[in-house]
Amino acid sequence: MGFWDDVERHMVRYSAAGRFTPEVVVRAEGSYVFTESGRRILDFTSGQMSAILGHSHPEIVSTIQRQVATLDHLFSGMLSPPVVDLARRLAGSLPAPLEKVLLLTTGAESNEAAIRMAKLVTGKHEIVSFARSWHGMTQAAAAATYSSGRKGYGPTSPGNYAIPVPARGVDWRQQLDLAFDLIDAQSVGSLAACIVEPILSSGGVIDLPEGYLGVLQAKCREREMLLIVDEAQTGLCRTGTWYAFERDGVVPDILTLSKTLGAGLPLAAVVTSAAIEEEAHARGYLFFTTHVSDPLVAAVGNTVLDVLERDKLDVRAAESGAFLRDGLLALAEKHDIITDVRGRGLLAGLELASDEAGAEVTRRCLALGLHMNVVQLPGMVGVFRIAPPLTATQEEISEGLDILDRALA
């Protein structure tokens, strides 16, 4: 039996597409993955939008080797220096009053913990999120996810409501007023929180208009709801600032981090205020998981912060992002099938006129040595999510743009 025979026989297909990338990857380094057949493929998605320092970063490798030999996993009630150090440093990177940190594994888990905390603290249960949101596949996170995966699984948690995503050419303030008029009409008077991504990634790389988060937060305050900001993909320098919410001058009640925090390893965080944490604790907050506060991945998180700070990767992401955007705009001038270029920093969206073209360009890019990801949602055309590592050089970005140009042609 060969590799693909084993795949066919034993692997559960865990995406709706039902297919895996037709390459056997055996190694990854920097901005590239390498296949069993000897091909080198430029990774324009940072793995699962996570490997912000590239693959097998030498300092991450060194940290893992050192830490796994000394302290890797503990009973969930025990604490270790890497965990407390990471909590302190994350708090130090954020505006007041965000200072209390819970370290977990995945984005879904951090959103689950945040929603659970919001419900307990407010004593309410209704959750609002965007109609193209993606917050994870666990119960509360999946109930707040609308971009895909809702049909066929029976009822979700009661009290989940969707609001429209701001669209080009629409008065977003008027749209948001109408959205909350509809929420108020449906609510049973138990609105606990609104959870949003500052840039909807799986929803098609839609950057919220400047000022939107501030108005949304005001809507939440009027209803005594908490604002949860999910920065799984946008946090830690990806957009050219440490956190995407900073642009709008708001501070969320609860912030969730994941993908970028572990730079490819399973590490996530929930960050909130001392007041919210105190109230949650007083009400018996419970989120006791097998890998809460694990020292191995916490040590990796500290190394990620070391590299981001030392190498000023927020500045580099802004500069590389501008270079990438200029290149994508040049492609848009050349290829009529490109209908929009959007995003922020090194998280870019390239919209095509048809989803069929998106699938074909994705296949052609892979054949030419570039891994791309195209979002194809019902009622949407194809949108490429482009997110190279923050460590990618301009030469590597140029290489990706050249391959994309050839594939579009």
User: Any idea which residues carry the catalytic annotation?
Assistant: 134, 197, 230, 233, 259, 385
Torsion of CA 246, 249, 253, 257, to 10 degrees: -10
Q: How many CB atoms lie within 10 A of CB 174?
A: 9
Q: For residue 65, give the amino acid letter.
A: Q
Antiparallel, parallel or unpaired: β 191-196 and 226-230: parallel
CA–CA dist 287, 97 (Å, integer): 22
Q: For residue 68, give the amino acid letter.
A: V
Where helices occur in 272-354 by DSSP H, the ranges are: 274-282, 295-310, 313-334
Extract the tokens encoding 312: 């000023």
CB 193, CB 128: distance < 8 Å: yes
Strand, helix or coil for residue 216: helix
Q: How many CB atoms lie within 10 A of CB 251?
A: 19
Phi, psi of 310 (to 5 degrees): -65, -45
Q: Calculate the alpha carbon distances from 313 to 26, 309, 394 in Å.
A: 28, 7, 14
Nearest residue to 253 via CA among 284, 295, 293, 224 = 224
Q: Which residue has 């708001």 as its token pair?
A: 250
